[in-house]
Amino acid sequence: MYNPIKRKRTREVKIGKIGVGGNNPIRVQSMTTTKTEDVESTVNQIIQLYEAGCEIVRIAVPSRNHVQYVKDIVRRINGLVPIVADIHFDYKIAIMVADVGVNKIRINPGNIGGFQKVREVISACKANNIPIRIGVNSGSLERDLIDKYNGVTADALVESALRWLDFFDKEGYLNVVVSVKSAIVPQMIEAYRKLSEKTDVPLHLGVTEAGTPKSGIIKSAIGIGSLLYDGIGDTFRVSLTADPLEEVRVAWEILKALGIRSRGVDIIACPTCGRTKIDLISLAEKVEKVLENEKIPIKVAVMGCEVNGPGEASMADVGIAAGKGQGVIFRKGIPIKRLKEEELLNGLLEEIEKIKEEMGYK
């Protein structure tokens, strides 16, 4: 995997059994969209997220009454994946939920009601030895900072984060992760770059309210991807107005695109051009669909012509180069068998099975 990124070193924080920061891989997070009181659906969604590659799952705790449901969820998940409780406004929820087995708490100290209340949340987390994410957000920045900076700016977000980090430091609580999310991509990039120069606390990245997949994937890929390429960020969530499984899928695509981590098959497909003589778009879609749950970390190419295809995709472990009514299966750019158009997909899958055997996946 080509990866020239020099990652900025941060200190390690443990979220359940998962390490974040330090030498740990960059972690993928997502958040459930089910009603927390619907324990059955929430547990099912958490398991689905875990199976899709989500390494830390956040759940909303909207009221004190919800703490009992979180307790049930944590018990049923039984350490499969770390659970983070997301709390807004009411510090008592944070104190109560710290006691029911969650692995981290996420608060925005700016909207929790002042230093004394945050101090009490710290005590509860200290007693349970669980980390806190200080989640600074462009949508809920403290009033004094908005006034000082004449609006929400990257510097204002950074100052808020540093102020809280300093407070946590003085309270003797270093078990923290911090985020400075903004809905504006350049602002979010600037804020994280500046914050990264000032602290070695692990950073959780995200573009907040990124929107539906159509625009949200692009915003997240640019915002999160730029920072990861700078070596900044220890964990992240792609926020989308969509099924959270899509967030996890996109998160892995970002990691794969940057050569940071691999998971499953990486599909390479040519854009097609005037040389293409088959319906390559639907063939590429079929290949993607049939391989979507495949765990083997290989590159698979789907190319529109035999002349340029194998060469252009020589970095692929295996691929199809289609011609007129027929095509070739190639490995590392070398054609190995010629098949009729309708046999290409099965021919590719057979070759992938052989690769799995060779790599010891079977």
338 and 326 Cβ atoms separated by less than 8 Å? yes
- Mark 286-305 with x for binding to ligand SF4 (rule: CB under 6 A) and - for no binding: -----------------xxx
Among 119, 275, 286, 331, binds ligand SF4 (CB under 6 A): 275
Among 53, 131, 233, 309, binds ligand SF4 (CB under 6 A): 309
Q: Contact between 4 and ligand SF4 (CB under 6 A)?
A: no
User: Can you list the alpha helix ranges (DSSP code H) found in 129-231?
Assistant: 143-148, 154-170, 185-198, 213-229
Among 308, 333, 343, 345, binds ligand SF4 (CB under 6 A): 308
**β partners of residue 269:** 302
- DSSP 8-class letter at 335: E
Alpha-carbon span 321 to 327, nearest angstrom: 6
Among 1, 127, 273, 315, binds ligand SF4 (CB under 6 A): 273
182 and 188 Cβ atoms separated by less than 8 Å? yes
- Please identify the residue of the shown chain whose CB is closest to the bound ligand SF4: 304
Q: Contact between 339 and ligand SF4 (CB under 6 A)?
A: no
Please state the closest distance from residue 303 (CB atom) to ligand SF4, in A: 4
147 and 159 Cβ atoms separated by less than 8 Å? no
CA nearest neighbour of 98 among 83, 80, 111: 83
For ligand SF4, which is the closer residue by CB, 273 or 315?
A: 273
Q: Contact between 326 and ligand SF4 (CB under 6 A)?
A: no
Token pair listed for 344: 């290409």
Binding-site size for ligand SF4 (CB under 6 A) equals 12
160 and 142 Cβ atoms separated by less than 8 Å? yes
- DSSP 8-class letter at 4: -
Q: Contact between 270 and ligand SF4 (CB under 6 A)?
A: yes
For ligand SF4, which is the closer residue by CB, 92 or 277?
A: 277
State which amino acid sits at residue 119.
R
Q: Contact between 272 and ligand SF4 (CB under 6 A)?
A: yes
For the four alpha carbons of 113, 103, 57 and 215, in that order, the dihedral sign comes to: positive
Q: Contact between 312 and ligand SF4 (CB under 6 A)?
A: yes
Binding site for ligand SF4 (CB under 6 A): 270-273, 275-276, 303-305, 308-309, 312
